[in-house]
Every structure is written in C-alpha cells, then in structure tokens.
Structure 1
Amino acid sequence: MPDHIIVIHRWTDQYADYAEYLDHTAHRVSYVTTERAAEHLPVERAAAVRLVDSTENEKAVREAVDALTADVAAPTRIVALQETDLDLAAVLRDEFALPGPGADELRPVRDKLLMAHRLTEAGLPVPPTAEAPDHAAVRDFAALHGWPVLVKPRRGTASSDVTRIETADQLAHCILPLGTEMIVQPWLPHQILHVDGVFTGERLGVWRASRYLNTCLDFTTGQALGSVEVDDAALLERVGALTLDVARALLSRASVFHLELFLSDTGALTVLEMGARPGGAEVPFVWREVHGVDLMAAAFAHQTGTPDPTPATLPDHTPVGGWLLVPPSVPLPCRVTSVTVPDTGAYAHRAPEAGRTMNSGGYEHAGVRFRFSGADTAETEAALLRTARQTLLRCEPVDAAAPRRLVLVGCGNPPYRGYALQSLAATTETALVQAHEPDWQRAHIDDRFLAADTADTDAVTAAVAALLTGRPGHGGILTWDETLLATTAEAARRLNLPHLTPQGVRACRDKLTTRRLLAAAGVPSARFQHAHDLAAAQTSAAELGLPVVVKPRGLAGSVGVTLATTPEEVERAWEEATSSSFPGIDPLAGAIVEEYLTGPEISVDCVVDQGGAHVINVARKRLGFAPWFEEVGHLVAPWRHEPWALDVETVVTAAHRALGLRTGVTHTELRLTPDGPRIVEVNGRLGGDFIPLLGRLATGVDQVAAAAALALGRTPDIAPSSDRCAEVRFLYPEHDAVVRSLDVRDAAACPGIADAVALAAPGTVLRLPPRGVVPRLAALIAVGDNPNRCAAALDRAQREVRCSLEPYDS
C-alpha cells in the first residue's frame, strides 16, 4: 500500500509546493490546514483534506489527524514546515512511533533556555539566559547583568511577546504573559545576522548569511524590516565556522536551519538562536528565485525520508538577494486606504489591496513585501533602502466595537429577494454593489451604493473597498446570487473578509469537481462520468446503466438537467445539457452523465461556522414537468423525528468537509434513496425559491440574518423558536403563454396564506420546460401546524388567483 503522509500546513502564500516534492499518485498525501491556506494546496490530488480554524488549535489538529487515520490510514510520516507547527508535529510523531524529529530531539532548537545551556556546554558564545517566572527573577537578572533586558517566551517565534525593559520602574508596570514560560536575556545593541541553509548531519551544505536592516523586535512595533545577504568573505569564513559548531551542538540529524547571530562593533559573533526549519519572511522565496534552491523541498525531504534535492554548494558568483517588509501605518486591526509602491529595484513585490482588512500578525501578512537581487551587497542594500523610504502603506484603524457595514453584491429581483434585502437591512447597515442604479432597493440602502460590473472582480473589489473605507467598524461582503459567487469570493479573499474561499466556491459551482471531491472522500453521491461528446455520453450511460441524468457542469436552477431512460433520450438530453445557458454563468466543458437516484428529494440549509455545518431546516422538494427537474414547490416541516434525520446530517457534514466549506450559509440537495441519503449538489449560498423565508416562518431562524452575521465575523443566532410548517407552491400556465393580466390579491387574503407573490408582469412570455427557464406565474406561501393545513390553504388560494393568458406559439 502507498505511504500515508499527513502534512500540517498553515501558509496562505505559496511557500511550499508539495505536489512537486512528492508524487501524490504514488503516495497518499493528506492535509490538515485552514480554509484560506488550502487555496494553494493540491486538494484534488490529495488523499483527504481536513480543515481547522488554526493549526495552533491542538485539539482541532488532533481530531483532524484522528479522522485522517480512520478515513485514509495510519500515517507513516507527519510533516510540518512552519516553526509554530513543529512542536505538535514532533509530539504526534512520538505518539505514532514515526520517523522524523520527535519532541526530545526538537527541544534544543525550540526551548531557548535549553538551547543556551547546550551552547554554553559546547563552549560557544551565547548571551546569559535565565528563567523569568516573575518580576523578581527579572530584577535579579538585571542586577547581575544590567539594564536593559529582553523578556521573551521560552518557545516563541518571530519576536512575538518579546519585550525590551529599560528600568526597574518600567518592569513594575510590565505584565508578563500568563500561562507562558518566559526567559530573560540582556539586550545587546549589536547588529543581527541570520544564516540560512542546510546541515547534512555532519557538515554544512548550501548556506547564505544575511544582515538585518533594523530588527525583528523593531518590526513588531511598526518599523520596516529588511535583510540583505553578506558578501564579506572574511566575515563569512568566521560565520561559517560558528554556524557549523552551532549546528553540531543543537541538531542531531540533517536539517534545514535558520540561525541568528549578534555581530558586535568589534566583530565578535554571539549566538542569538537557531531554528530547525527554513527562515521566515521572504527567505524561502529569495532562495528559490535568486539561488535556484528550494529550502522547503529540503525540509520536506528530511521529514519524509526522501532524497534531499539541494546541491552541495552554490556557484561562486551567485547574485546577492535581499527582502523588505513594510508594515501598515497604524496598529492592527486596520484597513488599507492606499498603497504607494515605488519602482526602485525590487524584482518582485506583493501589496495588499486598498480596502483590505489587516488583522493578522506575522511576516506573511506583514504589509508590503519586496524581494531584491543585485550584483553585490552594496547594490542590493541601496535598492532596499530606497524602496523602504518611498513605500507608503496608509491604513485606518478598525474599531471592533463600532457599527459594522455589510456590502451586498447583486440583489436579484424583488419578488424572489425583496424579503431577503428587507431582513438584511433590518439588522445590519447594508450597502449595495450592482451593475445598475438601484430602484426598489433604495428604501433599504439609502445612498450606500456603487455601480460596478459585477462580472469584473477588480471592479467589485474596488467598489466594496470604497464602501467600507472611512468606516470605523469591521465590514463584510455577501451575495445570494449564484452567478456572482465566484466574483464575491475572490473579492472577499483580496479584502480579507469572511466568506467561502474561491476554492470552496469552485468546488460547488463546478459539478464535476463536486462529484470528484465527494467520491474521493467517500461521501454518498451519484456514480458519474464526464462526457466531452455525444458518443462518450452514450458510452457513459451504457456503463452506468439507464436511466441516467445528463446535466451541464456549471449552470443553475436545474437548467439543462434531463432524465434519460433510453439511448435515444440520452442523445436528446446531451443536446439539452450542452446547448442550455443561464445568464452570467459559464456552462463549462462537456456534460456530466450520472446515475439516476430514486427516492424523495430534499434540500438542507446549513449555517457553517468555523467548519461546523449546522442544519437549520429541511425542505421537501416538489418536482414537476418530468423528465425535466422543474421545482414546482417546497415544504419546510419538522424533520428531526424522521428515520433518515441522523444520516442526512452525517452526509451533509461530510460533504461540507470534503468541499472545504467552513464559513457561510449553504443549500444542499439530496435524494433519500433506498440505500440512504445521497448528495445531488451543494450550493455555497442561500437557497432560492423563498426557501429561507419558509425556514423563518416555520422555525423562526432567519437565514439571511445568519448569513450577515457570518459575513461580519459574528456568531449567528440559529436557535429555533417554533416548529411549524411552511410551504411555497408555484403556479404555471398550462401551455406556453403570454401573460395579459395577473391578480393575486384575493389569494393573499385566504386564511393560512402568509404571502402571494406575482412573478410574471403583463406581457411576459412563459414557455414551459424545457423551452423556458422557471416560467412561473405566481408563488403562494402558506403557514400551518402541519403539511395538510398548508396544502389546504394553498388549494384555496390557488382557486382565488385571477389571470388572463394568451397562447404563445413560438
């Protein structure tokens, strides 16, 4: 059997290319990662993916590893390349008795007090270091070694929680972090070098030394941080010798390392600390792009037992690399108002979008990131300093206590989405981005509107940013329009706003991807094949067994979806699937042929918060116009007593996990087959056809308000306050027709009717399936204590609808 390698991954940028490091077809590779970090992972080639809110959440990571062990296999290797994840990975290796660095082996490069003791025992220069459990210990240390001192976590990273304390009076007002072991060292006013490279277990492999411009501690206080590689041969000779001694003292096997050294004015070198991992910030990128060496690949090889791909040495005249991080102008959290990036010699840079919310620390999300390459240290440093002087990242503070604003992208038409906008505006300050000037929406958004081409991600992102900038509170973004999901998800990613990820949206929007991911995760769905032409569709139908369903990959509203029971009907269904269209949606290549699932069809609405999919209501779907799958009504009714209830929750939860859906409101369709619930499709949005309204009428849970809360980073209220029934029935003409008049007022007045909505204005042409798209006259919505009362009210109301139709002959 292939190996099962579990990777714990947290970066949202492309620091590591795991698919390049290991053949995912020859080995089973699974990932424990976050929703945002999964974007650059080879998800479709992975054996499985488990999402967590943070890889620092040990309980969640352990549960994910346990699930992967149960679902895939016991791991044969566990990999973690980011420093903060090294400890847990080591502990898990010990627990599974796996090869690779265990906790004891890792401790000398994670425990800074033990590191200092080891280096002292080896006779290597290291600052005095002592435990700092309280203020008295810090005062005693300073009395011996002098002020100022640095107090830092014993297992910290990236200068987090490091404090420089100048005097005893300042110490008296300093609060040491609770529950964190701290150490104290003297503050040394020296230049700091960092050395990055590979230790083979016996000697140094490739390595480079660099000099920080400013310090990591200064960076935590809002100052820019830069680094430039050193080309001083005499200094490099001494640095290399000390680096080898430190590696031999602290590392017991081959490892990538990141070493930091003090360089005094007299040229003396003192060890600050060493990490058994690639350097942070832009170090891995500079090595890959300037020197052609992937330190992440080397670290991956060391942890998996595969060959180290790095060369023994670098060329003599390799370019000199450097990098620069420019932080925001105000403390976090903040919102970017403008970015000025000069053309001063960087070969690559990454800057946040105007309007982006910045709320995470660390180098990856530092602000504006630059990378440099030059002929020598002087040239690279000059370009770096010019860039630092001229780069401006202007930001405004964000106040968590201030009122929040939600920007809605697209709105839909008033019959189907008027209630949703009304509900949204009743609880949240709402703004709108759409392609045309608002009309009926004005009552809910006032002047909070910007026009933008909603098919243009750049335009939508800029419009949303403009509507949020200048507001003191947090912002959010939401759409309930299927055609705008991809655009909205990408805008949310750029602006760092809560939303389904673009990858999660693609997993829902492309039904082929949905099927593949569900199949790979073992989630009950339909057997399927992807057909690129009619011959392939006919072959697929024969292999799957008639009847089959033929559907487009990327449309919506059951458009182009046809049941075929004979080979002749397969041909017609293929033509229907490949010729149908839905405004604003790419149908994608080919069509899907899948087995026909028998049994009642239901839809399940979920609120998904931090990866937990919470079912808030279930609707029984009414279908008509066979062999097409026209939805002619929906009934939301109590369901938890049903024999299939637990199985439905289990399958829906597994589907969300397989598709990587962790934040938002979703609408899942299933068939209750004789073999149990099976997924038809998952939609990353509110349900249509008034289903959210039915849910509110039946259970008291407002899905629109829940979607708004999630988009604004809040926990929604999803506790039901009632347990009734609500049903919508759509009225259709008996034949293709032109609507001359329609009056639903008497129907609306019927007992038990919550609303009667005219859907077709006079002059509307309604063509029945498959010629037309949802050719409805009206929607009748009933509420009752049981389904029979809803049905009786709908029957009465339907008889009261007055309409005049003229036959339409196309």
Structure 2
Amino acid sequence: MARRALILVEGHRRVGLLYVQAARRLGLHPISLSADPTCYDYHGAESIEAIRIDTDDLDALIHECSRLRAIYDIAGITGFVVDDESVYATVGKLCRYFDLPGPNPASIERCYDKFIQRQFLAKAGVPIPAYRVAANSAEVESSAAEIGLPVIVKPAVGSGSIGVRLCRNVDELAEHTTYLLGGKHLWRSSPKILVEGYAQGPYYSTDIMGNEVIGICTADFVRPPHFVFRGCAHPAPLTDDEYKRIADVSLSCLQALGLYWGPTTVELRWTELGPVVIEVNPRLAGGTNPRLVQLAYGVDLITDHVKLVIGDKCDLRRRHSHTAASRNLVPDRDGTLDWIEGDSRAAAVPGVAEVKLYVEPKTPIVMKGDYLDTIGHVIATSPSLAETEAILQRAVDLIGWSIT
C-alpha cells in the first residue's frame, strides 16, 4: 500500500514546523514543494522531503503532484507563505484539479487583493473604514485628502504588515508614498496602494474554522507609525454583548466573501461605532496565535486544519478555559546582534509555556516595521489575564540582548 502523503506548498517560519509535526502525528508523510527550500530551517532539522519547484507555476505544480501521486497516496494539499497569500489560492486550484478538499480559489483571490476584498465587504454592508485605491503619488494625496488624515497607507496586495504605515500628516504621507513607489518596496504585482481611514480603538482578531468562531483575541502594537505586534492574548476581555457583536460581524465577512471552508482570521477595531473590520485573512493567523488557542481552549487549530485537508472530521469543542498570552521580543534599533541570552531562565518561570528566539548572535538587525522585526517570543498561561501578563513580564525581564 502506498504511503499517505501531505503536500505542503511553500512554508512558514513560525507555524510551518507545527504543520509538519501535525501531519506526522496523523500518520502522514509531509512533502514540501518550494521555490527555495533553504528558506525554511525546519526542513533540515525534520528531514523533510523537499522538492525545489517554481510555486508560481500552476502547471509545474500539477505535473509534480501527478508524479508524486504515482509514488504516494496524496491525502491532501495545503500551503502558506506569510508575505504572499496568492500561494493559498494556488493550493485551492491544486485541490480542485486533484479532487481533494480545499478552499475555493475564487474566494481566496477576493481576499488576496484587499481593494477587491473591501468592495465585497462594503457591498454586503460590513462595517469597514473609508477607503480609496491609488496608483501614483497624486492619487495617494487626493485619496488622503478625501478621507481625511490620519490614514493608513499600504499595498493592496500583501500581508505581514509589510509596507503598512499610519500617516498622520502630509509629510509622513509623502515619505511613505515615496518609499512604496520609489523602488524600495518589492511589488509582487502592478503597484496598487490602498489608502484608508484610521479606525481607532482596541484591536481584536477572530479565529474561525469553517463557520464556527473558535475564539477572539486582543492584541497591541509596539509603536506607531508601524503595526508590529507587541503581544496578544486569548480570550479577549469582552462582555457577552461585545463578544457577540464581534463574532456576528466576523461571520458576516465569510458570507460576503464566500468563505465557507477551512480557517479564517478576521481583524477588527472596536471604534466609537462598534466593531469595524480591518482585514479578512483566509488562513490561520501566523505567529503565536495557534499555540495560544490551544493553551486557552484546548483546540489544536493546525491539527484540525490538516484533518480538514485530508477529508477527516475535526473536533472544535473547547476542552478547558484558561488565559494564554504572548509577548514578542522587538529591538529598538538597527545594527548587529552581539549577543542574546536569558531564554532558558525565562522558560523556567512558572506559567511560561514557550520561549523561542529566531536569531543567532552576529545576525544583522534591520528594522522595517513589519513582522520580521521580531526576534523571538514568550508565551505564558494561567487562569487569569492579569496573572498571565505578570508571568510574561517576569520572563521577558530575564531576556537581554546587545545590538551595535
């Protein structure tokens, strides 16, 4: 009998290893298809079968999966890459071709382009910020004038907070527009800039599997004008009414965009008018979030996603109710990392569930205001948010580094 395999298109530096481990727990042989397998350090550590291939070429992927199907029983196909969500649309097309469970590629593509996403949300009456699309500096300037400063300016296509900035005045607006259009930002498609009103208020994120809300977290950011996560916590401290309003708005996004299968993450702000949707991502949240969900509720989103991918039923019942929170380690300057230490001491603090460092000494540190600015994280859990935050602070205080 042929060995059952799970095809992973590309990967993810935070959750990619968790998918590999989940696949193996389910008796699957993980196979990675990647344009550059060396990008993912867990490939070597886990001895993963990795195949170099142009993952932008659907025909090449179909040919390779057909070749693998002669060797393995391909149980499912999934994939991800944090700064290029088009990979997930490609996964949907592969699943359709091979008649495997997977997302609707048309629905994924509606989300992939955030301007199109907003058009669908607006048509359905979902509360979103005012928005305009611009192709040049003059259009960015006029869009900001129509909406009114401050505004958020970002690429219409992208993720991981790459190229996203709060522009509070005309000088910041001009500076960021020059950055995006002046050759420093890597565009994966024709330059298209989204200008939108700044929805002010606490940030929340809804984790959904299929059409079931698993939990709602709260998060904060390191410092403006960028949006690098400082940390997040499950569950968010909400009243029953607030939880219901956020959940209802989040589920209305699924209907508007045709997202009925697999994981979705909806990002919102609670403004003077209530919950306003910032973004809908047709995938699991990256970073520490899947681990926080598991610690807080006992729901393993990654394993459940893999079960869906291979056609098995997943069990989304909450098994317990704890508080879990994370704190990201974010430097405050560019330079070279001389040393970083204290992670083992931090891991020994009672209540700490995980400490991870992403960098080694002598690593160049270049702050860009996106997810790559983080150099590690700490996760803690306890019965209450206040206690969990105190545990996190004790642990983070034990970790130090030097940058010159």
Would the TM-score normalized by the shorter structure come out above 0.5? yes
Alpha carbons 1:563, 1:573 under 8 Å: kept: no
Cα distance in 2, alignment partners of residues 529 and 595 from structure 1: 9
Letter paired with 2:79: T
Deviation for aligned residue 1:641: 4.1
Letter paired with 1:476: G
1:319-361 CA-to-partner distances (Å, cap 9, x unmatched) read: xxxxxxxxxxxxxxxxxxxxxxxxxxxxxxxxxxxxxxxxxxx
Superposed CA RMSD in Å reads 2.5
Say yes or no: does 1:456 pair with 2:57. yes
- Identify if the C-alpha distance between structure 1 residues 764 and 773 changes in structure 2 by more than 3 Å, giving closer, same or farther: farther
Task: Identify the residue that residue 384 of structure 2 maps to in structure 1.
Answer: 786
Task: Identify the residue that residue 597 of structure 1 maps to in structure 2.
Answer: 199
**Matched position secondary structure for 2:80:** coil
Task: Identify the residue that residue 350 of structure 2 maps to in structure 1.
Answer: 751
1:762 is aligned, of 361, 375, 395, to: 361
Letter paired with 1:412: H
Alpha carbons 2:136, 2:181 under 8 Å: kept: no
Q: TM-score, normalised by structure 2?
A: 0.90
Written as runs of structure 1 = structure 2, the 5 A alignment for 1:420-435 is 420-435=19-34
Task: Identify the residue that residue 719 of structure 1 maps to in structure 2.
Answer: 317
- Identify if the C-alpha distance between structure 1 residues 678 and 428 changes in structure 2 by more than 3 Å, giving closer, same or farther: farther
Task: Identify the residue that residue 738 of structure 1 maps to in structure 2.
Answer: 336
- Identify if the C-alpha distance between structure 1 residues 709 and 754 changes in structure 2 by more than 3 Å, giving closer, same or farther: same
Deviation for aligned residue 1:639: 5.6
Letter paired with 2:214: I
Cα distance in 2, alignment partners of residues 476 and 445 from structure 1: 20
Task: Identify the residue that residue 657 of structure 1 maps to in structure 2.
Answer: 255
Deviation for aligned residue 1:478: 1.0
Written as runs of structure 1 = structure 2, the 5 A alignment for 1:572-721 is 572-578=175-181, 586=188, 588-608=190-210, 613-637=211-235, 641-721=239-319
Alpha carbons 2:126, 2:252 under 8 Å: kept: yes
Task: Identify the residue that residue 524 of structure 1 maps to in structure 2.
Answer: 127
1:494 is aligned, of 88, 91, 97, to: 97
**Matched position secondary structure for 2:372:** coil
2:6 is aligned, of 406, 412, 433, to: 406
Task: Identify the residue that residue 477 of structure 1 maps to in structure 2.
Answer: 77
Task: Identify the residue that residue 441 of structure 1 maps to in structure 2.
Answer: 43
**Matched position secondary structure for 2:162:** coil
Letter paired with 2:78: L
**Matched position secondary structure for 2:250:** helix
Cα distance in 1, alignment partners of residues 11 and 185 from structure 2: 17
Deviation for aligned residue 1:699: 0.7
Deviation for aligned residue 1:724: 0.9
1:543-581 CA-to-partner distances (Å, cap 9, x unmatched) read: 112221111111211111111222222222323444587
Alpha carbons 2:7, 2:33 under 8 Å: kept: no
Alpha carbons 1:433, 1:460 under 8 Å: kept: no
**Matched position secondary structure for 1:486:** helix
Alpha carbons 2:3, 2:29 under 8 Å: kept: no
Written as runs of structure 1 = structure 2, the 5 A alignment for 1:766-777 is 766-770=365-369, 774-777=372-375
Cα distance in 1, alignment partners of residues 230 and 251 from structure 2: 27
Alpha carbons 1:425, 1:445 under 8 Å: kept: no
Deviation for aligned residue 1:733: 1.9
- Identify if the C-alpha distance between structure 1 residues 637 and 796 changes in structure 2 by more than 3 Å, giving closer, same or farther: same
Letter paired with 1:779: H
1:675-729 CA-to-partner distances (Å, cap 9, x unmatched) read: 1211111112121111111111111101101111211123211001011111111
Letter paired with 2:401: C
1:214-258 CA-to-partner distances (Å, cap 9, x unmatched) read: xxxxxxxxxxxxxxxxxxxxxxxxxxxxxxxxxxxxxxxxxxxxx
Cα distance in 2, alignment partners of residues 638 and 449 from structure 1: 39
Question: Relative contact order, CA 8 A, sep 6+: which one is greater?
Answer: 2
Unmatched 5+ stretches in structure 2: none
**Matched position secondary structure for 2:241:** coil
Alpha carbons 2:9, 2:32 under 8 Å: kept: yes
Task: Identify the residue that residue 90 of structure 1 maps to in structure 2.
Answer: none
**Matched position secondary structure for 1:735:** coil
Deviation for aligned residue 1:657: 1.3
Cα distance in 2, alignment partners of residues 439 and 539 from structure 1: 44
Letter paired with 2:33: Q
Alpha carbons 1:619, 1:637 under 8 Å: kept: yes
Alpha carbons 2:329, 2:375 under 8 Å: kept: yes
1:443-492 CA-to-partner distances (Å, cap 9, x unmatched) read: 7566x5433222322222233333334545x6211113242223322222
- Identify if the C-alpha distance between structure 1 residues 582 and 646 changes in structure 2 by more than 3 Å, giving closer, same or farther: farther
**Matched position secondary structure for 2:353:** strand
Deviation for aligned residue 1:519: 0.8
- Identify if the C-alpha distance between structure 1 residues 531 and 582 changes in structure 2 by more than 3 Å, giving closer, same or farther: closer
1:567-607 CA-to-partner distances (Å, cap 9, x unmatched) read: 22222232344458777x71543211111101111111110
Cα distance in 2, alignment partners of residues 597 and 439 from structure 1: 37
Letter paired with 2:123: A
**Matched position secondary structure for 1:755:** strand
Cα distance in 1, alignment partners of residues 238 and 88 from structure 2: 31
Letter paired with 2:68: L
Cα distance in 2, alignment partners of residues 647 and 704 from structure 1: 26
Letter paired with 2:135: H
Deviation for aligned residue 1:792: 1.0
Cα distance in 2, alignment partners of residues 690 and 495 from structure 1: 32
1:536 is aligned, of 117, 139, 147, to: 139
Cα distance in 1, alignment partners of residues 58 and 77 from structure 2: 13
- Identify if the C-alpha distance between structure 1 residues 791 and 784 changes in structure 2 by more than 3 Å, giving closer, same or farther: same
Written as runs of structure 1 = structure 2, the 5 A alignment for 1:45-124 is none
Cα distance in 1, alignment partners of residues 214 and 195 from structure 2: 31
Task: Identify the residue that residue 549 of structure 1 maps to in structure 2.
Answer: 152
Deviation for aligned residue 1:528: 0.7
Cα distance in 2, alignment partners of residues 667 and 466 from structure 1: 34
1:739-798 CA-to-partner distances (Å, cap 9, x unmatched) read: 12222111111111111101112222222344x752222211111111111111111111
- Identify if the C-alpha distance between structure 1 residues 430 and 442 changes in structure 2 by more than 3 Å, giving closer, same or farther: farther
Letter paired with 1:598: Q
Unmatched 5+ stretches in structure 1: 1-398
1:385-437 CA-to-partner distances (Å, cap 9, x unmatched) read: xxxxxxxxxxxxxx9xx985322112223x55333432332224032223337
Cα distance in 2, alignment partners of residues 666 and 419 from structure 1: 18
**Matched position secondary structure for 1:643:** helix
Cα distance in 2, alignment partners of residues 784 and 468 from structure 1: 46
Give the number of equivalent residue pairs: 397
- Identify if the C-alpha distance between structure 1 residues 633 and 658 changes in structure 2 by more than 3 Å, giving closer, same or farther: same
Letter paired with 1:481: V
